[in-house]
Amino acid sequence: MQQTTNKILVTGGAGYIGSHTVVALVEQGFDVVVLDNFSNSQPESISRIEQITGVKLDVVNADVRDEIALQRVFELHQFDAVIHFAGLKAVGESVDQPLRYYHNNVQGALQLLRVMGDGNCKKIVFSSSATVYGDPSSVPITESFALNATNPYGHSKLMVETLLRDISSSDADWQVSILRYFNPVSAHSSGLIGEDPNGIPNNLMPYISQVAVGRLACLSIYGDDYDTVDGTGVRDYIHVADLASAHIKALQALAPGHGCQAYNIGTGRGYSVLEMVKAFEAASGQTIKYKIAPRRIGDIASCYADTSKSARELGWTAEHDLNGMMQDLWHWQSNNPNGYS
Protein backbone atom coordinates (compact mmCIF):
# COMPACT_ATOMS: atom_id res chain seq x y z
CA MET A 1 0.00 0.00 0.00
CA GLN A 2 1.29 3.47 -0.81
CA GLN A 3 1.96 5.47 2.33
CA THR A 4 1.43 9.20 2.39
CA THR A 5 2.34 9.56 6.05
CA ASN A 6 5.75 8.18 6.90
CA LYS A 7 7.61 9.88 9.73
CA ILE A 8 5.70 9.78 12.99
CA LEU A 9 6.37 11.26 16.41
CA VAL A 10 4.88 9.05 19.12
CA THR A 11 4.60 10.81 22.49
CA GLY A 12 4.25 8.35 25.38
CA GLY A 13 5.57 5.60 23.11
CA ALA A 14 7.21 3.70 25.98
CA GLY A 15 3.87 3.25 27.77
CA TYR A 16 1.31 0.48 27.59
CA ILE A 17 -0.68 1.42 24.48
CA GLY A 18 2.17 3.44 22.94
CA SER A 19 4.61 0.51 22.97
CA HIS A 20 2.16 -1.77 21.15
CA THR A 21 1.41 0.94 18.61
CA VAL A 22 5.12 1.59 18.01
CA VAL A 23 5.59 -2.12 17.23
CA ALA A 24 2.70 -1.99 14.73
CA LEU A 25 4.03 1.22 13.14
CA VAL A 26 7.56 -0.14 12.72
CA GLU A 27 6.19 -3.40 11.30
CA GLN A 28 4.17 -1.36 8.77
CA GLY A 29 7.30 0.49 7.66
CA PHE A 30 6.74 3.83 9.38
CA ASP A 31 9.76 5.80 10.56
CA VAL A 32 9.11 6.36 14.28
CA VAL A 33 10.56 8.72 16.88
CA VAL A 34 9.43 8.11 20.48
CA LEU A 35 9.28 10.94 22.99
CA ASP A 36 8.65 9.91 26.61
CA ASN A 37 9.66 11.19 30.03
CA PHE A 38 9.39 7.67 31.53
CA SER A 39 7.21 9.00 34.37
CA ASN A 40 4.96 5.94 34.03
CA SER A 41 7.06 3.50 32.00
CA GLN A 42 10.39 1.71 31.92
CA PRO A 43 13.23 2.01 29.39
CA GLU A 44 13.03 -1.81 29.29
CA SER A 45 9.82 -1.49 27.22
CA ILE A 46 11.91 0.18 24.50
CA SER A 47 14.42 -2.70 24.52
CA ARG A 48 11.54 -5.14 24.20
CA ILE A 49 10.05 -3.23 21.25
CA GLU A 50 13.49 -3.40 19.60
CA GLN A 51 13.65 -7.13 20.33
CA ILE A 52 10.25 -7.72 18.69
CA THR A 53 10.84 -5.54 15.64
CA GLY A 54 14.61 -5.95 15.18
CA VAL A 55 14.81 -2.18 14.65
CA LYS A 56 16.79 0.26 16.80
CA LEU A 57 14.43 3.00 17.95
CA ASP A 58 15.06 6.72 18.01
CA VAL A 59 14.03 7.68 21.57
CA VAL A 60 13.99 11.15 23.12
CA ASN A 61 13.81 11.23 26.91
CA ALA A 62 11.86 14.47 27.41
CA ASP A 63 8.64 15.92 28.73
CA VAL A 64 6.07 17.16 26.20
CA ARG A 65 5.78 20.32 28.27
CA ASP A 66 9.48 21.10 27.71
CA GLU A 67 9.26 23.63 24.88
CA ILE A 68 12.98 23.71 24.11
CA ALA A 69 13.27 19.92 23.94
CA LEU A 70 10.18 19.68 21.76
CA GLN A 71 11.39 22.40 19.37
CA ARG A 72 14.71 20.62 19.06
CA VAL A 73 12.95 17.37 18.09
CA PHE A 74 10.94 19.21 15.44
CA GLU A 75 14.11 20.89 14.13
CA LEU A 76 15.82 17.52 13.80
CA HIS A 77 12.91 15.75 12.10
CA GLN A 78 10.26 16.64 9.55
CA PHE A 79 7.28 14.75 10.95
CA ASP A 80 4.26 13.90 8.84
CA ALA A 81 2.08 13.28 11.89
CA VAL A 82 2.04 12.87 15.66
CA ILE A 83 0.32 10.24 17.79
CA HIS A 84 -0.14 11.77 21.22
CA PHE A 85 -0.35 9.18 24.01
CA ALA A 86 1.66 11.03 26.67
CA GLY A 87 -0.49 11.79 29.68
CA LEU A 88 -1.54 10.70 33.13
CA LYS A 89 -4.48 8.30 33.27
CA ALA A 90 -5.51 7.29 36.79
CA VAL A 91 -9.03 8.52 37.56
CA GLY A 92 -8.75 8.34 41.37
CA GLU A 93 -5.34 10.04 41.39
CA SER A 94 -6.76 12.83 39.24
CA VAL A 95 -9.38 13.55 41.91
CA ASP A 96 -6.62 13.90 44.53
CA GLN A 97 -4.17 15.78 42.30
CA PRO A 98 -6.24 17.78 39.78
CA LEU A 99 -3.59 20.42 39.07
CA ARG A 100 -1.01 17.77 38.24
CA TYR A 101 -3.46 16.17 35.80
CA TYR A 102 -4.50 19.41 34.09
CA HIS A 103 -0.88 20.53 33.89
CA ASN A 104 0.39 17.29 32.39
CA ASN A 105 -2.52 16.49 30.08
CA VAL A 106 -3.74 19.94 29.01
CA GLN A 107 -0.52 21.96 29.11
CA GLY A 108 1.29 19.03 27.46
CA ALA A 109 -1.19 19.02 24.56
CA LEU A 110 -1.08 22.83 24.25
CA GLN A 111 2.69 22.84 24.05
CA LEU A 112 2.75 20.03 21.54
CA LEU A 113 0.12 21.62 19.29
CA ARG A 114 1.95 24.94 19.33
CA VAL A 115 5.28 23.39 18.32
CA MET A 116 3.53 21.23 15.71
CA GLY A 117 1.86 24.31 14.22
CA ASP A 118 5.18 26.20 14.13
CA GLY A 119 6.80 23.21 12.41
CA ASN A 120 3.89 22.97 9.93
CA CYS A 121 3.05 19.44 11.07
CA LYS A 122 -0.74 19.51 11.36
CA LYS A 123 -1.80 15.87 11.51
CA ILE A 124 -2.51 14.35 14.90
CA VAL A 125 -4.12 11.26 16.41
CA PHE A 126 -5.08 11.86 20.03
CA SER A 127 -5.74 9.33 22.83
CA SER A 128 -9.09 10.12 24.37
CA SER A 129 -11.28 7.84 26.42
CA ALA A 130 -14.83 6.53 26.79
CA THR A 131 -14.70 8.33 30.13
CA VAL A 132 -15.75 11.49 28.20
CA TYR A 133 -19.28 10.01 27.94
CA GLY A 134 -19.66 10.01 31.73
CA ASP A 135 -22.75 7.99 32.68
CA PRO A 136 -24.33 7.44 29.25
CA SER A 137 -28.12 7.54 28.91
CA SER A 138 -28.09 4.21 27.01
CA VAL A 139 -25.76 1.68 25.37
CA PRO A 140 -24.24 1.17 22.87
CA ILE A 141 -22.62 4.61 22.87
CA THR A 142 -22.22 6.51 19.60
CA GLU A 143 -19.79 9.39 19.06
CA SER A 144 -22.69 11.87 19.05
CA PHE A 145 -23.69 11.11 22.66
CA ALA A 146 -23.47 13.98 25.15
CA LEU A 147 -19.97 14.56 26.52
CA ASN A 148 -19.94 14.75 30.28
CA ALA A 149 -16.82 13.91 32.25
CA THR A 150 -17.16 13.23 35.97
CA ASN A 151 -13.55 13.61 37.20
CA PRO A 152 -10.46 15.78 36.48
CA TYR A 153 -8.90 13.10 34.27
CA GLY A 154 -12.02 13.00 32.09
CA HIS A 155 -12.23 16.80 32.06
CA SER A 156 -8.61 17.01 30.93
CA LYS A 157 -9.45 14.72 27.97
CA LEU A 158 -12.51 16.82 27.12
CA MET A 159 -10.47 20.02 27.27
CA VAL A 160 -7.95 18.63 24.81
CA GLU A 161 -10.77 17.41 22.55
CA THR A 162 -12.18 20.98 22.61
CA LEU A 163 -8.74 22.43 21.84
CA LEU A 164 -8.41 20.10 18.87
CA ARG A 165 -11.86 20.96 17.51
CA ASP A 166 -11.12 24.68 17.87
CA ILE A 167 -7.75 24.63 16.09
CA SER A 168 -9.24 22.52 13.34
CA SER A 169 -12.12 25.01 12.88
CA SER A 170 -9.67 27.90 12.77
CA ASP A 171 -7.30 26.33 10.26
CA ALA A 172 -8.47 23.73 7.74
CA ASP A 173 -4.91 22.41 7.36
CA TRP A 174 -5.25 20.58 10.68
CA GLN A 175 -6.26 16.94 10.27
CA VAL A 176 -7.26 15.50 13.62
CA SER A 177 -8.53 12.12 14.78
CA ILE A 178 -9.67 11.70 18.36
CA LEU A 179 -9.74 8.02 19.37
CA ARG A 180 -11.99 7.30 22.34
CA TYR A 181 -10.72 4.01 23.72
CA PHE A 182 -13.05 1.80 25.72
CA ASN A 183 -11.25 -0.67 28.06
CA PRO A 184 -7.78 -1.60 26.72
CA VAL A 185 -6.54 -5.00 27.88
CA SER A 186 -4.08 -7.80 27.11
CA ALA A 187 -0.61 -7.77 25.61
CA HIS A 188 1.49 -8.43 22.52
CA SER A 189 1.36 -12.06 21.36
CA SER A 190 5.15 -12.39 21.90
CA GLY A 191 4.66 -12.00 25.67
CA LEU A 192 7.46 -9.39 25.62
CA ILE A 193 5.44 -6.20 26.14
CA GLY A 194 2.29 -5.63 28.17
CA GLU A 195 0.68 -3.57 30.90
CA ASP A 196 2.88 -2.94 33.96
CA PRO A 197 0.99 -0.61 36.29
CA ASN A 198 2.73 1.10 39.21
CA GLY A 199 1.57 -0.16 42.60
CA ILE A 200 -1.74 -1.93 43.06
CA PRO A 201 -3.69 -1.91 39.77
CA ASN A 202 -6.93 0.07 39.59
CA ASN A 203 -8.09 -1.72 36.47
CA LEU A 204 -9.74 -5.11 36.43
CA MET A 205 -7.56 -7.19 34.13
CA PRO A 206 -4.12 -6.36 35.57
CA TYR A 207 -5.64 -7.00 39.00
CA ILE A 208 -6.87 -10.44 37.91
CA SER A 209 -3.57 -11.37 36.27
CA GLN A 210 -1.63 -10.31 39.38
CA VAL A 211 -3.88 -12.51 41.52
CA ALA A 212 -3.09 -15.34 39.12
CA VAL A 213 0.69 -14.98 39.63
CA GLY A 214 0.32 -14.62 43.40
CA ARG A 215 1.23 -10.93 43.67
CA LEU A 216 -2.25 -10.14 45.00
CA ALA A 217 -4.39 -12.36 47.20
CA CYS A 218 -7.97 -11.83 46.13
CA LEU A 219 -9.99 -9.81 43.61
CA SER A 220 -12.72 -7.55 44.99
CA ILE A 221 -15.66 -7.42 42.60
CA TYR A 222 -17.17 -3.99 43.00
CA GLY A 223 -20.90 -4.63 43.17
CA ASP A 224 -23.11 -7.52 42.09
CA ASP A 225 -26.41 -5.65 42.12
CA TYR A 226 -26.19 -3.68 38.87
CA ASP A 227 -28.90 -4.07 36.25
CA THR A 228 -26.73 -6.31 34.06
CA VAL A 229 -26.59 -9.95 32.98
CA ASP A 230 -25.26 -11.17 36.36
CA GLY A 231 -25.28 -7.99 38.47
CA THR A 232 -21.60 -7.12 37.90
CA GLY A 233 -20.42 -4.17 35.76
CA VAL A 234 -20.28 -4.56 31.98
CA ARG A 235 -17.51 -3.03 29.86
CA ASP A 236 -16.19 -3.14 26.30
CA TYR A 237 -12.73 -4.72 26.65
CA ILE A 238 -10.47 -4.34 23.63
CA HIS A 239 -7.19 -6.09 22.85
CA VAL A 240 -4.31 -3.59 22.84
CA ALA A 241 -3.14 -5.02 19.49
CA ASP A 242 -6.50 -4.01 18.00
CA LEU A 243 -6.01 -0.55 19.49
CA ALA A 244 -2.60 -0.39 17.83
CA SER A 245 -4.08 -1.24 14.42
CA ALA A 246 -6.77 1.42 14.94
CA HIS A 247 -3.99 4.03 15.19
CA ILE A 248 -2.50 2.92 11.88
CA LYS A 249 -5.92 3.14 10.21
CA ALA A 250 -6.52 6.52 11.82
CA LEU A 251 -3.19 7.84 10.47
CA GLN A 252 -3.93 6.51 7.00
CA ALA A 253 -7.37 8.16 7.03
CA LEU A 254 -5.95 11.64 7.66
CA ALA A 255 -6.33 13.62 4.45
CA PRO A 256 -7.18 17.14 3.32
CA GLY A 257 -10.72 18.03 4.34
CA HIS A 258 -10.73 15.54 7.23
CA GLY A 259 -11.13 18.26 9.85
CA CYS A 260 -11.54 16.93 13.39
CA GLN A 261 -13.28 13.59 13.88
CA ALA A 262 -13.86 11.45 16.97
CA TYR A 263 -14.03 7.64 16.78
CA ASN A 264 -15.05 5.01 19.31
CA ILE A 265 -12.42 2.29 19.60
CA GLY A 266 -13.98 -0.78 21.17
CA THR A 267 -15.35 -4.14 20.09
CA GLY A 268 -19.00 -3.16 20.34
CA ARG A 269 -19.68 -5.96 22.82
CA GLY A 270 -19.78 -5.84 26.59
CA TYR A 271 -18.72 -8.47 29.13
CA SER A 272 -19.43 -8.53 32.86
CA VAL A 273 -16.75 -8.74 35.55
CA LEU A 274 -17.75 -12.34 36.31
CA GLU A 275 -17.60 -13.25 32.62
CA MET A 276 -14.08 -11.79 32.49
CA VAL A 277 -13.00 -13.79 35.54
CA LYS A 278 -14.36 -17.02 34.04
CA ALA A 279 -12.77 -16.35 30.65
CA PHE A 280 -9.38 -15.64 32.27
CA GLU A 281 -9.62 -18.84 34.31
CA ALA A 282 -10.44 -20.87 31.19
CA ALA A 283 -7.52 -19.44 29.20
CA SER A 284 -4.93 -19.59 31.99
CA GLY A 285 -5.93 -22.73 33.88
CA GLN A 286 -5.64 -20.66 37.09
CA THR A 287 -8.34 -20.16 39.71
CA ILE A 288 -9.00 -16.54 40.63
CA LYS A 289 -10.01 -16.01 44.24
CA TYR A 290 -12.62 -13.27 44.48
CA LYS A 291 -15.10 -11.72 46.87
CA ILE A 292 -18.05 -9.42 46.30
CA ALA A 293 -17.37 -5.91 47.62
CA PRO A 294 -19.47 -2.71 47.65
CA ARG A 295 -19.85 -0.71 44.44
CA ARG A 296 -16.87 1.54 43.62
CA ILE A 297 -17.76 5.25 43.70
CA GLY A 298 -18.11 6.69 40.21
CA ASP A 299 -18.64 3.32 38.47
CA ILE A 300 -21.49 2.84 36.02
CA ALA A 301 -23.44 -0.33 35.24
CA SER A 302 -22.74 -0.75 31.51
CA CYS A 303 -20.49 0.85 28.94
CA TYR A 304 -19.91 -0.40 25.41
CA ALA A 305 -19.32 1.18 22.04
CA ASP A 306 -21.20 1.54 18.83
CA THR A 307 -18.25 1.08 16.49
CA SER A 308 -20.02 1.65 13.18
CA LYS A 309 -18.34 5.02 12.55
CA SER A 310 -14.81 3.62 12.92
CA ALA A 311 -15.72 0.64 10.74
CA ARG A 312 -17.22 2.88 8.06
CA GLU A 313 -14.73 5.76 8.06
CA LEU A 314 -11.48 4.11 9.19
CA GLY A 315 -12.11 0.65 7.76
CA TRP A 316 -11.22 -0.73 11.19
CA THR A 317 -12.84 -3.33 13.42
CA ALA A 318 -11.44 -5.27 16.37
CA GLU A 319 -10.26 -8.77 15.48
CA HIS A 320 -9.32 -10.42 18.79
CA ASP A 321 -11.99 -12.32 20.70
CA LEU A 322 -12.26 -12.69 24.45
CA ASN A 323 -10.27 -15.92 24.62
CA GLY A 324 -7.46 -14.39 22.55
CA MET A 325 -7.32 -11.39 24.91
CA MET A 326 -7.04 -13.69 27.91
CA GLN A 327 -4.39 -15.95 26.38
CA ASP A 328 -2.14 -13.05 25.45
CA LEU A 329 -2.62 -11.44 28.85
CA TRP A 330 -1.65 -14.68 30.61
CA HIS A 331 1.35 -15.19 28.29
CA TRP A 332 2.65 -11.71 29.25
CA GLN A 333 1.91 -11.94 32.98
CA SER A 334 3.19 -15.49 33.46
CA ASN A 335 6.42 -14.69 31.58
CA ASN A 336 6.83 -11.38 33.43
CA PRO A 337 5.26 -11.85 36.88
CA ASN A 338 6.85 -8.59 38.06
CA GLY A 339 6.29 -6.68 34.84
CA TYR A 340 9.42 -5.08 33.40
CA SER A 341 11.34 -5.04 36.68
d(C-alpha 323, C-alpha 77), whole Å: 41
Q: What is the DSSP letter of 250?
A: H
SS3 244: helix
**CB-nearer residue toward ligand NAD: 63 or 328:** 63
| Chain residues that interact with ligand WQD, rule: CB under 6 A | 89, 91, 129, 131, 183, 202-204, 207, 219-222, 233, 235, 273, 296, 299
233 binds, among ligand NAD, ligand WQD, none (CB under 5 to 8 A by kind): ligand WQD
SS3 126: strand
**CB-nearer residue toward ligand NAD: 88 or 221:** 88
- List residues with catalytic annotation: 153
- Tell me the closest approach of the beta carbon of residue 161 to ligand NAD, in angstroms: 12
109 binds, among ligand NAD, ligand WQD, none (CB under 5 to 8 A by kind): none
Residue 33, phi then psi, degrees to nearest 5 = -115, 130
Q: Does 7 bind ligand NAD (CB under 6 A)?
A: no
Q: Which of 20, 113, 29 is nearest to 64 (CA)?
A: 113
Q: Which of 67, 90, 60, 38 is nearest to 201 (CA)?
A: 90
Scanning 35-43, 112-120, 137-145, 254-262 for contacts with ligand NAD by CB under 6 A, the matching segment is 35-43
Q: Does 305 bind ligand NAD (CB under 6 A)?
A: no
17 binds, among ligand NAD, ligand WQD, none (CB under 5 to 8 A by kind): ligand NAD
Q: Which residues does 86 contact at the CB level (< 8 Å), separation at least 6?
A: 11, 12, 15, 18, 35, 36, 37, 64, 108
Residue nearest to ligand NAD (CB): 15
SS3 302: strand
Q: Does 72 bind ligand NAD (CB under 6 A)?
A: no
Kindly report the CA angle at 235 between 234 and 238, in degrees rounded to 5? 150
- Tell me the closest approach of the beta carbon of residue 4 to ligand WQD, in angstroms: 30
d(C-alpha 210, C-alpha 72), whole Å: 40
Q: Within positions 79 to 138, which residues make up the interface with ligand NAD, using CB under 6 A?
A: 85-89, 104, 108, 127, 129
Q: Which residues pair with 127 in a beta bridge?
A: 179
Q: Which residues bind ligand NAD (CB under 6 A)?
A: 11-12, 14-18, 36-41, 63-65, 85-89, 104, 108, 127, 129, 181, 184
